[in-house]
Structure 1
Amino acid sequence: MKKGVPKAFFIFRIDAKSFRGVQGTKVSPLSKTALPVWIRNIVVAILLLGQALMASTLDFIEVQGVKIPFIFEEDKRLPIVSMQLVFTGSGSIDEGKVAGLARLSAKMLNEGSRKRGSVGFADALEARAIQLSAHAGNETFVVELGSLKEEFDTGLSLLSEQLREPNFTDKTLEKIKTITLSEIARKEADFDTVASDELKSVLFEGTPMAVPNIGTKASIKQIKLESVKSFVSSHLVLSNALIVIGGDISDAVAKEKVIKLLSGLEIGKTGSPRYYEPRKTPKESILKRPQTEQAYLYFGSPFEMREGDPEFYKARVAMFILGSSGFGSRLLEEIRVKRGLAYSAYSRLSVAKTNTYFSGYLQTKLESGEEAKKTVVEVIDTFVRDGVTQSELDQARKFLLGSEPLRVETLSQRLGRTFSEYYQGKPLGYSLQELEFIRNLTLEDLNDFIKRHSEINNLSYAIVTK
């Protein structure tokens, strides 16, 4: 191996001048159709071997007596380091009755430190090409840091400064509230977003899941500075912390730097686990918007599965065939190809710690709304009743297995996968084991699984129309 080439980096080359195909035909290295299957299999094997050699690892570090998960991968191909400081149990569903508080708190944290102010802090980051940002989802609050290896210490110093003395002032709060209210106003004119939010409101009525994580105009206007300070101080604590870090840095050095960074945080309390059941009885909500020129049809239903379910791989294959694969899926074939009712139709299964539900959407002509809705019902009913064909299973299996190398080719993808496996309570490397389950899945087992989940027929709707 040449000097300077990382141990886990392989060079695979086919010389068209000397290589001849099985039938004695000269093969171009750029020809996908002419390349023999066995050579493509070798390429896939090498990519998967590279994944195994460069896999992320899970360990724990201890800070003030708290054991903190530490997900790490060393990758020296580029002189960069990236880190995510994840606080679990700190997303929008943990903000209490103040909708939008978690997301607004993240925006506030992005305003830099009290010492430098918003502009001064941004200038300090830009001068060293450091990327530092915070964002909040449904379940987690995440602070991301990325930089060149030589600037990583500066990035950590700025992050520490930001966490110790965030720029939490009344002036900053008013600025972020104004920006957030403008975003909400823009979303009101996006009927896809309106229908999507309304579907969540229908499915999870009376729970934090029913309100968009951006909040509402009324809730944002009511947020006080003390609420932001309280949310950050009670959620960004060691008991909720998890580290994801990788790049041109050793395991020992990364741990040393992270422990120093986290030593300034309070121990705090671990967030309480929550789970919200979606509506089981169908309900329809129709929103009239005079300015729309088409109907936006969003649909959803319960799905009896929790995160970490050993049968998730079957759901993955089933949902791929039904509606998540785009062209070739049942929904798109029936709605677009056969009936011309919509340009696109899509469905997916969301499985998280806090909720699980099936959902989908399409856009159609105003006069075709009822026909499109009827078609969705028919397609899903037939899917549950009759299952899938061997050909559909084979095509889904071929795509899911064949596209695997593309899902783990970057450092961030590998770190993200390891985080997901840990967060979902699965052993490291489970994703590869899941591929073997998919490879060995029989038509009988898949169709039995589909028939056992007839609850997806209990569809609720959110429709935006004229």
Structure 2
Amino acid sequence: MGAVLDSIKIKGVEIPLIFEKSDALPIVSMQIIFQKSGSIEDKNLPGLAKFSAKMLNQGTKSLGNVGFANRLEQKAINFGVSCGIETFVLEMSSLKDEYKAGINLISLLLQEPNLTPKAFEKVKINSLGYLSRKEDDFDYVAAINLKKILFKDTPLEYPSYGTIESLEKITLKDVKNFLKEHLVLKRAIVVIGGDLSLKEAKDSIKKILLKLEVGEFEPLKFYDANSKQETKLVKKDTKQAYIYFGSPYYLKVEDDDNYKARVASFILGTGGFGSRLMEEIRVKRGLAYSAYSRVNINRSHSYFSGYLQTKLKSQDEAIKIVKEVIKDFVEKGATKKELDAAKKFLLGSEPLRNETLSQRLSRAFNEYYRGKPLGFSKEELKKIETLTLEELNSFIRSHPEIINLSFSIVTK
């Protein structure tokens, strides 16, 4: 049985519920996902969403961090709170026999989260320490500077972990207000599956959802990447040049051509050995150990990006080759050999992407979140299978915006 879309009504709010019955193993997997509640909602305090997620990982007031963690460990329950750019997620998996215990612990967490000054100071110290260490992570430095270029003057400009300056400004009151505003019924989507019935799933999840307020929800805004080509150089004591590049990509999650973007991206830079960038930069010229690119298509933003590391003396040549390869790809498109190889991999590896319950639930959620019917991924595979070289190259030529590359470089 595949995943199905249902709903559950709590306090007058119809909450989407994605469910898959699977009795292959005696396990249950559950997520509550809050829309428009990730780092895109940090506003003037970059890092607030991730900081708030870390605070919820500090357990309950009555049990504390260690006591809460011990309860989970005793029952072999995996639980965590995380956040991405757009969403804030509570996730749990357990054996079927311990599922109710997990539900009870999450209910307790929402009822009395450990939002104490002591827990707050612990999270702040750890978060500041993490960012201090990241100053010497040159991949991280190059990546966040690329986002600053591509999404200047938007909420996406700032790193999701925040900055040392922004974390210093965050208060316990900010965290409480963030959680109160975002962990609400109108933003919630429930994803649950495993060795239980739909009725059992609904009955159990109610206990958690009843702890939440109704709240408010506004649709996500969409932000185009900056088409103005810029280069940002950061000098560090490094033996390698870290080169990150990106450009606009004018495609949205609801567009019908997403499957073509998937194939084109695989051929250009996502496919590893055999991809155009890897062949030209590593195999033919030996300029880098690896070279990678991808398209990022989200509800709030879309863009093209890639990266490579090279010797300091090869920095300018590598940048020149990246520009040439991408320009040539847009103008001339893919070859029949490249299309056949991409199809073989994408279609042949499909079973590996659909093996586990968590993989299938994640796919079902992504289909729903992107406004597609459940099972849409299978339809996309059929489209990939019948995609012609002419159709693919026409699509590639229709996206010359990826040539407008900006670069973020850490060098010596």
- Same fold flag (TM > 0.5): yes
Aligned to 1:195: 142
Say yes or no: does 1:383 pair with 2:329: yes
Superposed counterparts of 1:89-168, under 5 Å: 89-168=36-115
Identify which of 229, 234, 248 aligns with 2:176: 229
What secondary structure sits across from 2:89 in the alignment? Answer: strand
Matching of residues 176-215 of structure 1 within 5 Å: 176-215=123-162
The 5-angstrom pairing of residues 273-288 of structure 1 reads 273-288=220-235
Match of 1:244, as an amino acid?
V
Query: Any runs of at least 4 consecutive aligned residues in structure 1 with deviations exceeding 2 A, and if so which?
Result: none
- Gaps of at least 5 residues in structure 2 are none
- What is the Cα deviation at residue 119 of structure 1? 1.5
Deviations 1:32-65 (A, max 9, x none): xxxxxxxxxxxxxxxxxxxxxx311111111111
Alignment partner of 2:311 out of 346, 353, 365:
365
What is the Cα deviation at residue 339 of structure 1? 0.6
Q: Once the 2 structures are TM-superposed, how far is the Cα of residue 272 of structure 1 from its aligned partner?
A: 3.4
Matches within 5 A, 1:46-85: 54-85=1-32
Distance in 2 separating the partners of 1:446 and 1:126: 50
1:415 to 342, 361, 377: 361
Question: How far did 1:341 drift?
Answer: 0.4
Q: Residues of 2 paired with 1:272 and 1:186: CA distance?
A: 35
User: Separation in 1 of the partners of 2:21 and 2:327?
Assistant: 48
Q: 1:397: how far off?
A: 0.9
- Cα distance in structure 1, aligned partners of 2:312 and 2:21: 54
Aligned partner letter, 1:141 = F
Q: Separation in 2 of the partners of 1:357 and 1:104?
A: 26
SS at match of 1:192: helix
Residue 302 of structure 1 is matched in structure 2 by: 248
Residue 125 of structure 1 aligns with an amino acid whose one-letter code is L
For residue 399 of structure 1, give the secondary structure of its aligned residue in structure 2: helix
1:426 pairs with 372, 393, 403, which one? 372
* 1:270-302, Cα deviation, whole Å (9 max, x unpaired): 13321111111100000000x210100100000
Scaled by the length of structure 2, what TM-score is found?
A: 0.99
- Residue of structure 2 equivalent to 1:457: 403
Paired residue secondary structure (1:397):
helix
Superposed CA deviations along residues 387-421 of structure 1, whole A, max 9, x for unmatched, are 11111111111111111111111111110111000
Give the CA deviation at 1:428: 1.4
Q: Which residue of 2 aligns with 1:323?
A: 269
Equivalents in 2 of 1:410, 1:131: separation in Å? Answer: 16
Identify the residue that residue 121 of structure 2 maps to in structure 1.
Answer: 174
After TM superposition, the structure 1 = structure 2 runs for residues 332-351 of structure 1, keeping only pairs within 5 Å, are 332-351=278-297
Return the match for 1:239 from 161, 171, 186: 186
Letter in 2 for 1:361: Y
**3-state SS, counterpart of residue 270 of structure 1:** coil
CA RMSD of aligned residues (A): 0.8
The one-letter amino acid of 1:445's match is: E
Which has the higher Rg, Structure 1 or Structure 2? 1
Cα shift readout 1:48-99 (whole Å, capped 9, x = no counterpart): xxxxxx3111111111110111111111121111101111110001121111
| Alpha-carbon offset, residue 436 of structure 1 | 1.0
Q: Distance in 1 between matches of 2:329 and 2:104?
A: 55
Distance of 2:64 and 2:207 partners within structure 1: 24
Of 341, 349, 354, the residue aligned with 1:395 is 341
Partner of 1:44: none
TM-score where L is the length of structure 1: 0.87
Letter in 2 for 1:144: E
Shift of 1:224: 0.6
SS of residue matched to 1:254: helix
| Aligned residue type for 2:278 | L
Which segment is superposed worse, 293-302 or 205-214? 205-214
Q: Distance in 1 between matches of 2:89 and 2:77?
A: 17
Which amino acid in 1 is paired with 2:118? K
Determine if contact 2:107/2:207 at 8 Å carries over to the other structure.
no
- Letter of the structure 2 residue corresponding to residue 394 of structure 1: D
Query: Tell me, what secondary structure is at the counterpart of 1:297?
Result: strand
| Alpha-carbon distance in structure 1 between the residues aligned to 2:111 and 2:218 | 21
Q: Is the 8 A contact 2:103 2:207 kept in 1?
A: no
1:440 aligns with 2:386: yes
1:286 aligned counterpart, secondary structure: strand
Once residues 220 and 261 of structure 1 are traced to their aligned partners in structure 2, the CA distance between those partners, rounded to angstroms, is: 30
2 CA distance for matches of 1:380 and 1:410? Answer: 36
1:133-164 alpha-carbon deviations (Å, 9 max, x no partner): 10111000000111111111111111001001
Equivalents in 1 of 2:209, 2:39: separation in Å?
Answer: 23
Q: CA deviation at 1:257?
A: 0.9
SS in 1 for 2:107: helix
**What letter matches 1:232 in structure 2?**
L
Contact persistence 1:88–1:271 (CA under 8 A): no
In structure 2, C-alpha distance between the alignment counterparts of 1:246 and 1:223, rounded to whole Å: 37
Match for residue 209 of structure 2?
262
Give the drift of 1:114: 0.9
Letter in 2 for 1:413: Q
